[in-house]
Structure 1
Amino acid sequence: MVREIIAKRPYRHFKGRLYYVHDIVMHTETREWMVSYQALYEPYGMFVRPLAMFAEEIESNRPDNVTKQIYRFELFKGM
């Protein structure tokens, strides 16, 4: 089971950058659920990633996990 990802909300990547989730969409060929999201820093790129990957847990000992998050992306609740 994939954890819930809420559209129209900001998320923080485990490396520290913020992204805005526009929507959860379905791939027309594979029927796989995908997350459509945008960087909240220049040049504000748009991306698509499989929902399962967007919501997955990461290894706790990763040296690039600057946020010490459990998941690849976590809902950003502000400062």
Structure 2
Amino acid sequence: MEHYKRTIPKAGEKWQHFKGHAYKIICIAEDAERINPVVVYQGVDDCACWVRPLSMFMSEVDHEKYPDVTWKWRFQKVADADE
């Protein structure tokens, strides 16, 4: 797995997207075709499930596209989902 400067999400953790939505991490999975890790996560409020490449999940906010956003990271760990 590629080295990231941040702690990799773990199942059960709660992470928040810079736009405000909170998500529970389901797991880190491998893409069978490209062998790239992906994050499987579920909306805390709506229970919708999502998949995103781990590298994108862990990336910085595109401040050219979103100049008013003060967050550095696209997703930030908030707390365990059970809290």
TM-score higher than 0.5: yes
Is 1:75 aligned to 2:80, yes or no? no
TM-score normalised according to structure 1 size: 0.82
Q: Quick one: percent identity of the two aligned structures?
A: 31
Deviation at 1:69, TM superposition (A): 1.6
Give, in whole Å, the separation in 1 of the partners of 2:37 and 2:13: 17
Deviation at 1:59, TM superposition (A): 3.1
Instruction: Please list every run of 5 or more consecutive structure 2 residues that lacks an aligned counterpart in the other structure.
Output: none
Give, in whole Å, the separation in 1 of the partners of 2:23 and 2:68: 17
8 Å contact 1:36–1:46 — kept in the other structure?
yes
TM-score normalised according to structure 2 size: 0.78
Instruction: Please list every run of 5 or more consecutive structure 1 residues that lacks an aligned counterpart in the other structure.
Output: none
Which residue identity is paired with 1:18?
A
2:29 pairs, out of 19, 25, 31, with 25
Deviation at 1:60, TM superposition (A): 4.0
Task: Quote the residue 1:12 is aligned against.
Answer: 16
Give, in whole Å, the separation in 1 of the partners of 2:41 and 2:27: 7
Task: Quote the residue 2:40 is aligned against.
Answer: 36
CA RMSD of aligned residues (A): 1.9
